[in-house]
Structure 1
Amino acid sequence: MLLTDTHTHLYYETDDVKRAELVQRCKYNNIGRLFLPNVDAASVAMVYSLESSFPDLCYPMLGLHPCSVKENWEAELAAIKQAIHQHEIFAIGEIGIDLYWDKTFLAEQLQAFKQQIAWAKSLKLPIVIHCRDAFDEVYDVLLQEKGDDLRGIFHCFSGTVEQANKITDLGFYLGIGGVVTYKNAGLDKVVAQVSLNHLVLETDSPYLAPAPYRGKPNESSYLIYIAQKVAELHQTDLETVANITTENSKRIFGV
């Protein structure tokens, strides 16, 4: 059995011993593929450092997180673009729109999002989308940009069945994380109605730890609890969920 965490910030742990322990717990739980999104120019080196330490496990992705789009966003993008051409990556991400914390830079977020979609198309890479309180804005961009050359993951999906269908109709996959294990979140009812063929699994560690670790720091080894919940919702076994979601990730990332 092979599980894939399609979205983890495991590189935030900089202590070598603790990092090795995190990786060891991943292997114990059959999580053998970790996809690492940076968030800004400063975190690029952190992603590459972890990948160089565990090259058989880690797959870098680069982009400018919408919460990192500030006054200096163009300089940040330029630095990230330079890094992209110096090292192999497997997606542009995480990118998108976040209106939960701050709406000040919506226009800039839209510009950065579209610019990075153009990168992905030119490099023939998927995109990994961050969307918080901004479904309509993100979906409008995807409608404008849709085509055979646009694909990827709607990271940390927590929307409705209708929204799920809109995303999958565009050929995107839904990234399902710890929220699916939360009582009263409602995501469990949505995921039960979406085919496994449209899903990938993620932790977004160190955020959004699944039950029974909700409220504590998340880690990629906890992906097992997310996979178990998805298996329960689809009335199937863990191995089936692992096989299908990992194959989906291979289809997206090409590796």
Structure 2
Amino acid sequence: MIITDTHTHLYSEAFDDDRHDMIHRAINQGVSRFFIPAIDSTYTNSMLKLEKDFPEHVFLMMGLHPTHVKENFKEELNHVEEMLASRFFYAIGEIGIDLYWDKTTLGVQQEAFRYQIQLAKKYKLPIVIHCREAFDEIFEVLETEKSDDLFGIFHCFTGTLEQANQAIAYNMKLGIGGVVTFKNGKIDQFLNQIDLKHIVLETDSPYLAPVPYRGKRNESVYILKVLEKLSYIYKVSMEEIASITTQNSKDVFGI
């Protein structure tokens, strides 16, 4: 059984004490494909080292995270462009809009999001979207940018059934992680109405650990709890969920 974690921050400082052990724990349980989203330029070297240490398992994205769209965001976007021009990445991500922490930066977040979508089209890459308290704002940008060559993943999907279908209509897969195991997560109530062909698995580790690890540091091996929950929701085996969602990840990332 090959399991794909489509979104994990393995370079995070939270793993500094046991990073290699943590990754090997996951690989030993069949979690052997890790897609690594970018945050900003300060993490680029850590990401490159991670890829060097695990070249068969680690696949890098490049982008500017919406919560890191600050006064210097144009410099950061220049860094993204320079990296894209210098080597191959599997996606532009994570990008999007986050209005949970700071609503005053909406304008520049929209500008950075749109710009990076256009980079994705230029390089023929998928996008990986971060959305927090910003579904309407995200959909507004996607509506103006929609095209056959715009596709990707709506990371950490936590919306309604209607919003799920809207995301899918924009050629997005839904990234399903630990939230599906939460009592108040809500997405477990309608997920079986979404065809599995639209779903990919993720952890967002070290964040959003699934039950029974909620509130603790998340790690990629915990994706098995997400797999277990989806098996229950869809009434099919964990092996089938793993197979379908891994194929979906290959359809998005091309590997």
Does the pair score TM above 0.5?
Answer: yes
Q: Which residue of 2 aligns with 1:137?
A: 137
Q: State the AA in 1 paired with 2:185.
A: A
- Percent identical pairs in the alignment equals 51
Corresponding residue of 1:25: 25
AA matched with 1:68? H
Q: CA deviation at 1:59?
A: 0.2
CA contact (8 A) 1:156 1:177 kept: yes
**Aligned residue number for residue 214 of structure 1:** 214
**Matched residue type, 2:63:** G
In 2, Cα distance between the equivalents of 1:96 and 1:184?
Answer: 24
Equivalent in the alignment of 2:117: 117
Quote the Cα distance in structure 2 between the aligned partners of 1:159 and 1:14: 27
What is the CA-CA distance between 1:49 and the residue it aligns to? Answer: 0.9
Distance 1:228 1:73, change over 3 A: same
Shift of 1:10: 0.9
Range with greater deviation from structure 2 (180-189 or 129-138): 180-189
1:123 aligned partner, one-letter code: Y
Q: CA deviation at 1:192?
A: 2.1
**Matched residue of 1:43: which SS?**
helix
String of CA shifts for 1:124-151, please: whole Å, max 9, x gaps: 0000000000000100111111111100
For the 8 Å contact 2:69–2:108, the answer to whether it is kept is: yes
Q: What residue number does 1:96 align with?
A: 96
Partners of 1:41 and 1:77 within 8 A in 2: no
Task: Check 1:250–1:91 CA distance in 2 against 1; reply closer, same or farther (3 A cut).
Answer: same
Calculate the aligned-residue CA RMSD, in Å.
1.2
What is the CA distance between 1:73 and its match in structure 2?
A: 0.5
Partner of 1:182: 182
Unaligned runs of 5+ in 2: none
Q: Which amino acid aligns with 1:92?
A: I
Whether 2:55 is the aligned partner of 1:55: answer: yes
Q: Is 1:155 matched with 2:144?
A: no
Hey, what does 2:5 align to over in structure 1?
A: 5
**Deviates most, 102-111 or 189-198:** 189-198
The one-character-per-residue Cα deviations of 1:13-55 (angstroms, maximum 9, x if unpaired) are 4867611111111112200100001101111111111011000
- Could you say if the C-alpha distance between residues 204 and 16 of structure 1 is closer, same or farther in structure 2, counting changes exceeding 3 Å? closer
Quick one: distance in 2 between partners of 1:227 and 1:87? 33
Residue 239 of structure 1 corresponds to: 239
Measure the CA separation in 1 of the matches of 2:42 and 2:184. 37
Quick one: distance in 2 between partners of 1:80 and 1:124? Answer: 15
* Maintained 8 Å contact 2:178/2:203: yes
SS of corresponding position for 2:223? helix
Amino acid at match of 1:98: D
TM-score, normalization by structure 2: 0.97
Give the Cα separation in 2 of the matches to 1:169 and 1:157: 14
Identify which range, 62-71 or 23-32, moves more after superposition.
Answer: 23-32
Q: Following the alignment from structure 2 to structure 1, what is the Cα–Cα distance between the partners of residues 17 and 183?
A: 34
> Deviations along 1:166-214, whole A, 9 cap, x unmatched?
1112221000010000012211112222111100000000000001100
Which runs of at least 4 in structure 1 moved beyond 6 Å after TM superposition?
A: 14-17
1:166 equivalent to 2:148? Answer no
Contact 2:14 2:206 in 1 (8 A): no
Give the Cα–Cα distance (whole angstroms) in 2 for the partners of residues 165 and 53 of structure 1. 38
**Native 8 Å contact 1:13 1:19 kept in 2:** no
Query: Residue type of the partner of 2:176?
Result: I
